[in-house]
């Protein structure tokens, strides 16, 4: 886990100056079936990505929180039942781009 985080931090540096690639972010969500429970701006089983961005606005560790959420299967409530949150699959830089994009919504 530690190693992945280091790689991500390194990949983050060159990306920091650019804005996120929205098409790539959406493609990654689609590939991972994340739209099953999340929409861009409507609540489904999970919060909309705009809601997520609003919730974490101004937090210095927002990127880290979303990364942890997407990669460690925390318990979430879906339809009143507790289940493990889906883990995202993708390259470090793809996930980093997705997180930047969500937080920019």
Q: Which residues bind ligand HEC (CB under 6 A)?
A: 29, 32-34, 36-38, 45-47, 52, 55, 65-66, 69-70, 76-78, 85-86, 88, 102
Distances (CA, A) of 89 to 42, 95, 99: 24, 8, 13
Q: How far is the CB of 84 from ligand HEC (least distance, A)?
A: 9
Q: Which is nearer to ligand HEC, 9 or 55 (CB)?
A: 55
Q: How far is the CB of 76 from ligand HEC (least distance, A)?
A: 4
Q: Which is nearer to ligand HEC, 8 or 29 (CB)?
A: 29
Distances (CA, A) of 30 to 1, 80, 89: 25, 25, 11
Q: How far is the CB of 24 from ligand HEC (least distance, A)?
A: 13
- 22: tokens are 């929205």
Cα–Cα distance, 38 to 18 (Å, whole number): 25
């Amino acid at each position: 886990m530690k190693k992945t985080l280091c790689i991500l931090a390194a990949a983050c540096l060159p990306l920091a100056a650019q804005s996120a690639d929205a098409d790539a972010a959406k493609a990654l969500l689609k590939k991972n079936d994340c739209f099953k429970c999340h929409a861009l701006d409507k609540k489904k089983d999970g919060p909309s990505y705009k809601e997520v961005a609003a919730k974490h606005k101004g937090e210095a560790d927002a990127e880290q929180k979303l990364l942890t959420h997407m990669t460690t299967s925390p318990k979430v409530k879906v339809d009143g039942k507790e289940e493990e949150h889906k883990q995202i699959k993708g390259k470090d830089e793809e996930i980093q781009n997705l997180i930047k994009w969500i937080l920019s919504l």
